[in-house]
């Protein structure tokens, strides 16, 4: 690996100062499970590594029943999965966090890093979009919040400018009778990259859908918020026709390619299957929740 410098800020302000000083030559580090591989392969060649793991704000899960959760960008996936409030209120997101790689990877990799890496196949990103999560970014003239569906701009690229860092996710409070689900298709049981991933959240009022959000991964150059599919469910009872209609609109929102993991045609088909299943799972969870 090429030579680097390693810096350890302990506050957001310090991190921003360091990143601004080094500009394009710097790259933030959290779990490193994508970054070190990319550096060895020469895909990214940062000269300054700024380790954000020692900033308290980035390491906390703060839950408030009214305000929702603030999930620090550097919280490792395993802590998301082990958090009782996360499992209770956001089961789809915690499942996605627990699907990424092995325990060795989950112990290091963060949900924030998963997003900042900018992969269209990131497992936690559709789950975050389904929840309506916003990414809070520091380092600009003013702090800003960006909806997660707008964060990744092309494969490996994000809205972050040099000197900006993702501090935390702001995830809305769980509403009564609401829940979420994430499913991905891979050709084996565990330890693979999504061929298709779908995250869905559903809020029910009796049998009627009050709110819905469906998001797709690995079927386009960036993660996709399937707005029309989501809206199509609102005000309907979740019968087969409503679910099938949403699945068709999700397929239309997908723009997949052929690659070694699957053909575009197969990916469109699986997008429909996983959309149906995640709607059913999220709705079932919402019904069972008080």
Partner 1 sequence: MAQKAKTNGKVNGHHAKKVRVATTINGEAVEFLCEPRQSLLEVLRDVLELTGSKEGCLTGDCGACSVIIDGRTVCSCLMFGAEAEGKKITTVEGLANGAKLHPLQQKFLEDASLQCGICTPGFLISAKALLDRNPNPTEAEIRYALAGNLCRCTGYDKIVHAVLDAAKVMQAGG
For partner 1 (CB under 8 A), the number of binding residues is 34
4 contacts partner 1 (rule: CB under 8 A):
yes
In this chain, which stretch among 24-32, 127-135, 225-233, 238-246 interacts with partner 1, using CB under 8 A? 24-32
CB of 106 to partner 1, least distance (A): 9
Q: Considering only residues 20, 44, 54, 269, which one is a binding residue for partner 1 as defined by CB under 8 A?
A: 54
Query: Shortest gap between Cβ of 250 and partner 1 (angstroms)?
Result: 30
Left if phi > 0, otherwise alpha if psi is -120 to 50, otherwise beta: which for 194? beta
266: CB partners within 8 A, 6+ apart: 195
Our finding on whether 191 is near partner 1 (CB under 8 A) is yes
Q: Are strands 165-171 and 134-138 parallel, antiparallel or unpaired?
A: antiparallel
Q: 66: buried, middle or exposed (CB in 10 Å: 19+, 13-18, 0-12)?
A: exposed
Residue 108 sits in the site that holds partner 1 (CB under 8 A) = yes
Asked if residue 2 binds partner 1 (CB under 8 A), the reply is yes
Nearest C-alpha neighbor of 272 from the set 185, 155, 150: 185
Query: Number of helices (H) and strands (E), helices first, in the chain?
Result: 11, 14
Read off φ and ψ for residue 135, nearest 5 degrees. Answer: -100, 120
Smallest separation (angstroms) from partner 1 to the CB of 102:
2
**36 counts as binding partner 1 under rule CB under 8 A:** yes
Q: Which is nearer to partner 1, 107 or 280 (CB)?
A: 107
Residue 13 interacts with partner 1 (CB under 8 A): yes or no = no
Q: Phi/psi at 43 (nearest 5 deg)?
A: -70, -40
Residue 129 C-beta: closest distance to partner 1, Å:
26
Q: Where are the beta strands (DSSP E) in 108-164?
A: 134-138, 144-147, 152-154, 157-158
Q: Which is nearer to partner 1, 58 or 251 (CB)?
A: 58
Residue among 172, 173, 169 at smallest CA distance from 65? 173
Contacts of 89 by beta carbon, 8 Å cutoff, 6+ apart: 63, 69, 174
What minimum distance in Å lies between the beta carbon of 270 and partner 1?
Answer: 23
Quick note: the x/- pattern for partner 1 over 62-101, rule CB under 8 A, is: ----------------x----------------------x
Q: Which residues bind partner 1 (CB under 8 A)?
A: 1-10, 14, 29, 31-33, 36-37, 40, 47-49, 51, 53-54, 78, 101-105, 107-108, 190-191
């Amino acid at each position: 690996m090429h030579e680097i410098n390693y810096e350890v800020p302990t506050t957001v302000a310090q991190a921003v100062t360091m990143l601004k000083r080094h500009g394009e030559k710097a790259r933030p580090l959290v779990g490193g499970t994508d970054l070190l591989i990319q550096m060895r392969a020469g895909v990214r060649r940062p000269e300054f590594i700024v380790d954000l793991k020692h900033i308290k704000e980035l390491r906390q899960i703060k839950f408030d029943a009214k305000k929702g959760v603030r999930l620090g960008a550097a919280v490792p996936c395993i802590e998301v999965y082990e958090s009782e409030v996360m499992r209770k209120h956001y089961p789809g997101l915690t499942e996605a966090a627990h699907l990424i790689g092995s325990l060795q990877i989950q112990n290091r990799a963060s949900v924030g890093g998963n997003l900042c890496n900018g992969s269209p196949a990131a497992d936690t990103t559709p789950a975050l979009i389904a929840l309506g999560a916003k990414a809070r970014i520091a380092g600009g003239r003013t702090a800003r919040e960006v909806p997660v569906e707008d964060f990744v701009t092309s494969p490996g690229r994000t809205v972050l400018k040099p000197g900006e860092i993702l501090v935390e996710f702001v995830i809305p409070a769980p509403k009564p009778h609401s829940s979420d689900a994430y499913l991905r298709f891979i050709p084996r049981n565990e330890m693979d990259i999504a061929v298709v991933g779908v995250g869905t959240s559903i809020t029910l009022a009796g049998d009627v859908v009050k709110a819905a959000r469906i998001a797709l991964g690995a079927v386009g150059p960036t993660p996709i918020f399937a707005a029309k599919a989501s809206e199509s469910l609102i005000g309907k009872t979740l019968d087969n026709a409503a679910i099938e209609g949403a699945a068709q609109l999700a397929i239309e929102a997908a723009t997949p390619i052929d690659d070694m993991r699957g053909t575009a045609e197969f990916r469109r088909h699986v997008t429909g299957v996983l959309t149906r299943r995640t709607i059913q799972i999220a709705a079932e969870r919402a019904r069972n929740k008080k």
